[in-house]
Amino acid sequence: MPLRSAPLPRMAGHLSFMRAQTKAICDVRPGDLAVLGIPFEDTSAPYAGQSLAPRALRETSVYFGWHANPQFSHPVDIDARQDIQTDGLHERLCDLGDISPGPEDAIHAALKLATNQISRNGACAVILGGSDRLSATVQSALSNCQTAQLGGTPRDAHDFHIAPLPNGCASTGKSDTAAQLTKLSQWRDASKPLFVRFDLSVFETSLSALCDRPRLGGCDLATVAQWLSALGQHEVSAIMLTGLNPNRPGMGVVKVGQRLMVTAFLAFIYARLGFGIDHPGRQTSEENIPT
């Protein structure tokens, strides 16, 4: 069910993640993906601008708001030649808005409360951050959770570090991905909440351009999308997007970082909601020719 009956110019209208419906947090239902922004400026970061990340991610995500635009039929992954039915996306993806700016303690408290409530409702919190300092707060909201980490700074040996580790450290990302996926399944304890940290630094730095902490030897888009798709098969309680700084000096007009991040993140959304997986009644593109 599209949001509108007429096409909407990309930069017009109310801005929500992928043109999702907006909801109050109390209305979040089990199985929802609930998007929450944290425009938080980490004053210890090398460059100012992380607080602009949630808006930048939302702006880029509108490009992929297929379900909300009646002029499109349905997306097809051109590489896999696989149709992706997004009919249910509008019902299950929602945008709760941003946590209000304020004193840092208040932001931490609000984030913890929101994450906890979304989790208790049986939904997955999609937290659009800039600074990964707040990821500890999300972890504290999910008691006894397991953390899988793509990029960013490793904190705990018990976490599942996918790739890559900081410059100079050994990388787990270069080993065989299939073997790593098996390790993930073995590591995962389904009785505990799962938290995914997705930092822009997981990508090879020459691809991302807007990363606050660039990493050499990072992953390409296909590898990251593969990991996010695999993680999307699990019951994830929260996923946090960090590391994007749309205000890197001289690079403010280049939208490469947010586009890269949202493109990869689509794999998680589609996997989490069960799209892109063969199911009875799935139409092929051949059957969708507009008349």
Partner 1 sequence: MTAAITTFHPPLSQPGFRLFDGPLRDVADTSADQIGVVGMPSDWTHSSRLGTRFGPDALRRATTLLQSMRPQGASFDPDTGRRTVPAIDWLVDCGDAEVTAQDVDATTQAIAAMTEGLTVAGAIPLALGGDHYNSFPACLGYSRGLTKRSPDARFGYIQIDGHLDFSDRLGAWGTHNHATNARRISELPNIDVSNMVWVGIAGWVDGGDLALIEKQGGRIFSASDVHKMGAAEVMRQALAHAMQGCDELYLSIDIDAMDAGYLPGTGSIVHSGITPRQYYDLLDGLAEAPLAGLDIVEVSPPLDPSERTEFLAAEMLFRILRRFRTRPVTGL
Spatial contact of 267 and 229, defined as CB atoms under 8 Å apart: yes
| 200 lies in the site for partner 1, by CB under 8 A | no
Any residues with CB less than 8 A from the CB of 211 and at least 6 apart, and which? 200, 201, 203, 205, 243, 244, 245, 257
| 278 lies in the site for partner 1, by CB under 8 A | no
**C-alpha 226, offset from chain centre:** 13
Spatial contact of 117 and 25, defined as CB atoms under 8 Å apart: yes
| 256 lies in the site for partner 1, by CB under 8 A | yes
| 216 lies in the site for partner 1, by CB under 8 A | no
Binder to partner 1 among 22, 31, 55, 77 (CB under 8 A)? 77
Q: How is the beta sheet containing 236-242 ordered, strand by strand?
A: 21-22, 93-98, 33-37, 124-128, 236-242, 194-199, 146-150, 160-163
Stretch that binds partner 1, among 131-139, 140-148, 174-182, 246-254 (CB under 8 A): 246-254
| 73 lies in the site for partner 1, by CB under 8 A | yes
Binder to partner 1 among 98, 233, 263, 277 (CB under 8 A)? 263
- For partner 1, the closer of residues 8 and 142 by Cβ is 8
Quote the crossing angle between the two packed helices 221-232 and 256-272, to the nearest 10°: 30
| 69 lies in the site for partner 1, by CB under 8 A | yes
CA distance 36 to 220: 26
Burial class (CB in 10 A: 0-12, 13-18, 19+), 266: buried
The CB-of-56 to partner 1 minimum distance in angstroms stands at 13
The CB-of-254 to partner 1 minimum distance in angstroms stands at 5
| 259 lies in the site for partner 1, by CB under 8 A | yes
| 64 lies in the site for partner 1, by CB under 8 A | yes
Question: Which residues lie near partner 1 (CB under 8 A)?
Answer: 7-12, 63-64, 66, 69, 71-79, 83-84, 204, 206-209, 220-222, 250-251, 253-256, 259-260, 263, 266, 285-290
